[in-house]
Copies of this chain bind each other. A is one copy, B any other.
């Protein structure tokens, strides 16, 4: 599979495997290790996490599986996130979902991620959400210290709009290497708000979460979903895709911004569907007819 250069010395696989729902997969350590190795055989080397996934359990489950074959660590890129503090029985003192991008919290969260993964470095750490209460000097101090200590190699953000990206960047001595954003055939917000434009301007490849829109398209009976399913089915036939989710992946993969879809499923056959989408071609009319079906009107 194609590797995408994120910055000097950092390459991501074109398809990224996400572990948001890992705790629900109910895999034994051995099953998870096999899953990881199967992903790697398909060319997926980049794995996406967050401190909070699975009520703070997913990093640990992943790390425990990885420990069985620690040679794998240096063949993969580990991405994780920090900055959200959800309501959680692990933290009974919390009574409101909030963000924490203080120096202390970033460092503590990363230290915990290192322990969870059983590794001594994380490839990329992202600020999970733009924090309206952000002290960018503290973020910069945390990032700089973690980088200097070798605990984190690179930093990025997630769900940041352009003004937020510019602001944080201005406090850093090094570039943010990615912005992980939600994009799909029904989530066009970041086309409209300039986020994708900015990624292209800054030459950074966005990681894309929820590339299949959480499955809404498959079952929803809205006019938009009905229109989209018809168009996706037609394009599937035309480009030789096996299913409409392959077309949804391809719609992202053929875009010049080098969008990197994150697969959310723990079923190997679903991962394979994404991986095989990389080979699909799509012409401009197909791409725009999907856009038109999403919007409900042609481009002007």
Contacts and interface: CB of A to CB of B under 8 A. Distances in A.
Contacts of A198: 163, 166-167
B197 A166 contact: yes
A296 interface: no
Nearest to A196: B132
Contacts of A99: 284, 288, 299
Nearest to A98: B288
A200 interface: yes
Contacts of A256: 133-138
Nearest to A200: B167
Interface stretch (A89-97, A146-154, A216-224): A89-97
A161 B167 CA distance: 15
Interface string A255-297: 1100000000000000000000000000011011101100000
Nearest to A86: B298
Contacts of A193: 163
Given A96-B285, A200-B167, A285-B98, A162 B194 contact: yes
A191 interface: yes
Nearest to A293: B96
Contacts of A138: 256
7 contacts: A98-B288, A99-B284, A129-B300, A132-B299, A133-B284, A133-B287, A170-B201
Interface of A: 85, 94-100, 102, 129, 132-138, 159, 161-164, 166-167, 170, 191, 193-194, 197-198, 200-201, 255-256, 284-285, 287-289, 291-292, 298-300
